Chains A and B, each alone.
Chain A
Amino acid sequence: MAKKGINIWNVCCLLLYITTAVLASRDFYKILGVSKTATIRDIKKAYRKLALQLHPDRNPDDPKAQDKFADLGAAYEVLSDEEKRKQYDMYGEDGLKEGHHSSHNDIFSSFFGDFGFMFGGNRQQQDRNIPRGNDIVLDLEVTLEEVYSGNFVEVVRNKPVAKEAPGKRKCNCRQEMRTTQLGPGRFQMTQEMVCDECPNVKLVNEERTLEVEIEQGVRDEMEYPFIGEGEPHIDGEPGDLRFRIKVLKHPVFERRGDDLYTNVTISLVEALVGFEMDIVHLDGHKVHIVRDKITKPGARMWKKGEGLPNFDNINIRGSLIITFDVEFPQTQLDDQQKDGIRGILKQGSVQKVYNGLQGY
């Protein structure tokens, strides 16, 4: 064959290969709605939010719901794994074909629990007659830094799971009244224990990883439930695992709602002549403060937008309220310094006597 012919043939094949590769592979970053430089935390946060929105149970009228949901699962599976993400960034989806596929159900239930979404998350609507295992409540301590920026906590749940075993067992045992006839017109009522026969079950310990999100602005005592991750019930459903948020005290900031309070001690000189300083915030950014007037002890400064994000709308923030107190010089003044001060400050003697505890 002519040399020219081979080259054209090669180029055509390559073009075909590239176009099919581009068309077949999905843009995982776009599916999750995150940038190419997104951190693992951003990715988890995006998945959790979208999974709730895109779940097929939530979109019964959308014929594409299953596909969109499957795409979401695939996107998370790749971008949440360091190695897979690297391969994907370099070679696209085609570079990934090996070692694929944890089921999307596994991923979904690590964020929401076993029965996660099936009943619209509303357990109470279920048939009350099904016995339920115990609930587990875990107090999860979070720092104010985590409340400000959000975080994810990975947790390994080791729990007993009912597995089929050979043979039968007694189940649904209950007391029943039996009436036996002793003779004409004479009856006896006895109480008897009656059981059904069920397939035998044994409890085997299994482990799985769960992802708990500490959402920005989360409040004390808020709970994150994982359906079905509680204690099993041999004749019924497992209970739930709930993470109860406990916000720890902070050495610098005090939380009141969405506002943060802090105190700053300045010197007497700074209080009189002014000062400039930075306060390091919970995520490391600096809040700049400038004073060129006299600052009285107990004076407050309001910094809007420097508080905590609001849980329901993280675009709204509270304020940072700074209260100043003044530290007086430690050494005593000599006569010359005293005269100097009297001269500079030119403040007359005041000496007002009043009841300070009753607002006079």
Chain B
Amino acid sequence: MERLWLVRWQLLLLPLLLLLLSNCEGRESELNYVTCGSLVKLLNTRHNVRLHSHDVKYGSGSGQQSVTGVESADDANSYWQIRGKPARPCQRGSAIKCGQPIRITHMKTSRNLHTHHFSSPLSNNQEVSAFGENGEGDDLDVWTVQCDGIYWDRDEPVRFKHVGTDVFLGITGEQYGHPIRGQREVHGMSTPNQHNLWRTMEGVFIQPSQEPLRHDEL
């Protein structure tokens, strides 16, 4: 009788040991990186507002769709999709590298985060707009992610540097009046500082998939 109990005890212990050992292996999960195709909300860490756009055009400058910073956390107009360069799509689910060129596309209007040599309406910095149709604009839609380390970490404040005019996406606190009262001006500034740090908040983060089954005939 005692021998039976001993065997059963050993049988239970073995899988437990296996479980423990497997958990100790450090598995490199993509769970904390921002990946290609993900939908994110970007929070400016200095001013505590989210990057936002909407069907409201600038009254000056380029007259294109305006980009602002908003305080609310539950507006779908603050979602942006991370995509690759024009004609060079990034692989869905792959982690974005620091220094990688990307496009930041506004979910609701399918226009790309864009900047150009126009003055911003409140502070006379460089105007940042949302440009293009159906996700396609032009070469001024491309930004590089500036961060420490290899990949863009979801919890890390990063900077976005424009490819073409070399400005950093930022906010200095100027507020609009009617009809977008309280929203902050988003513009391009020439030097990296506390005002141009952003981190991801809410979103839909795509994980890398396995390759579909391949049947190699023997």
A interface vs B, CB < 8 Å?
A: 6, 9-10, 13-14, 39, 41, 83, 86-87, 90-91, 95, 98-99, 133-143, 145-146, 148-160, 203, 205, 230-234, 239, 241, 248, 282-286
Query: B86-140: which residues lie under 8 A (CB-CB) from chain A?
Result: 89, 92-93, 107, 135
Other-chain residue from A9, A133, A139, A203 in contact with B81 (beta carbon distance below 8 A): A139
User: Knowing A13-B4, A153-B209, A241-B204 touch, does A138 contact B217 (C-beta < 8 A)?
Assistant: no
Contact status A231-B201, CB under 8 Å = no
B145: Cβ under 8 A from any A Cβ: no
Other-chain residue from B31, B81, B89, B135 in contact with A138 (beta carbon distance below 8 A): B81
Query: B197-218: which residues lie under 8 A (CB-CB) from chain A?
Result: 201-207, 209-217
User: Closest approach, in angstroms, between the C-beta of B105 and any C-beta of chain A?
Assistant: 9
* Nearest-neighbor residue (CB-CB) of B40 within chain A: A158
With A154-B206, A155-B204, A234-B74 given, can you name 7 additional A-B contacts, CB distance below 8 Å?
A13-B4, A87-B19, A133-B76, A136-B39, A140-B37, A148-B212, A160-B73
Query: B160-211: which residues lie under 8 A (CB-CB) from chain A?
Result: 201-207, 209-211
- B209: chain A residues at CB < 8 Å are 146, 151-154
User: Closest approach, in angstroms, between the C-beta of B76 and any C-beta of chain A?
Assistant: 3
Rounded to whole angstroms, the CA-CA distance of A191 and B79 in the bound complex is: 37
- B81: chain A residues at CB < 8 Å are 138-139
B interface vs A, CB < 8 Å?
A: 1, 4, 11-12, 15-16, 18-19, 22, 31, 37, 39, 73-77, 79, 81, 89, 92-93, 107, 135, 201-207, 209-217
* Nearest-neighbor residue (CB-CB) of B213 within chain A: A149
Contact status B22-A156, CB under 8 Å = no
Contact status B202-A160, CB under 8 Å = yes
Contact status A10-B1, CB under 8 Å = yes
- A160: chain B residues at CB < 8 Å are 73-74, 202
Top 4 closest pairs, chain A to chain B, by CB: A134-B76, A284-B214, A149-B212, A154-B207
Other-chain residue from B15, B19, B74, B215 in contact with A232 (beta carbon distance below 8 A): B74
* Nearest-neighbor residue (CB-CB) of B31 within chain A: A156
* Nearest-neighbor residue (CB-CB) of A13 within chain B: B4
Contact status B4-A286, CB under 8 Å = no
Other-chain residue from B1, B79, B213 in contact with A136 (beta carbon distance below 8 A): B79
Rounded to whole angstroms, the CA-CA distance of A134 and B1 in the bound complex is: 65
User: Knowing A13-B4, A156-B207 touch, does A137 contact B107 (C-beta < 8 A)?
Assistant: yes
Contact status A134-B75, CB under 8 Å = yes
Contact status A141-B37, CB under 8 Å = yes
- A91: chain B residues at CB < 8 Å are 11, 15
- A41: chain B residues at CB < 8 Å are 210, 213
User: Knowing A10-B4, A138-B81, A234-B74 touch, does A159 contact B210 (C-beta < 8 A)?
Assistant: no
Contact status B214-A283, CB under 8 Å = yes
Rounded to whole angstroms, the CA-CA distance of A57 and B211 in the bound complex is: 35
User: Knowing A139-B81, A156-B207 touch, does A205 contact B92 (C-beta < 8 A)?
Assistant: no
Contact status B107-A153, CB under 8 Å = no
Can you list 30 contacts pairing A with B, beta carbon distance less than 8 Å?
A10-B4, A13-B4, A39-B213, A83-B18, A86-B18, A90-B15, A91-B11, A95-B12, A99-B19, A133-B76, A134-B77, A138-B37, A138-B81, A139-B37, A139-B135, A140-B92, A143-B212, A146-B212, A149-B212, A150-B212, A154-B207, A154-B209, A156-B205, A158-B205, A159-B202, A160-B73, A160-B202, A203-B74, A234-B74, A241-B204
